[in-house]
């Protein structure tokens, strides 16, 4: 993990079902589990939900 990663508190890993182990790395646009190592791309929306 890099220093810029943020803990996603209150979320559960879909692969290993462990709570509070997901990290968001905005530089690599990944969400990664610290327990099992599973990674998934972070989905972002350019308008941040401002359009209907």
Per-residue pLDDT of the chain (52 residues; tens, 9 = 90+): 446 789 999 999 999 999 999 999 988 889 999 999 999 998 877 776 676 5
Measured distance CA(47)–CA(9) in Å, rounded: 24
Handedness of CA 26, 11, 36, 44 (dihedral sign): negative
pLDDT of residue 9: 94
32: β partners: 23, 39
Measured distance CA(36)–CA(3) in Å, rounded: 20
Name the pairing type of β-strands 6-7 and 39-41. unpaired
pLDDT of residue 27: 86
DSSP 8-state assignment for residue 23:
E
pLDDT of residue 43: 83
């Amino acid at each position: 993990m890099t220093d810029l990663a943020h803990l996603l508190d209150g979320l559960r890993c879909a692969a290993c079902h462990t709570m509070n182990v997901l990290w968001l790395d905005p530089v690599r646009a990944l969400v990664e589990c610290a327990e099992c190592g599973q990674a998934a791309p972070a989905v972002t929306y350019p308008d941040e939900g401002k359009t209907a």
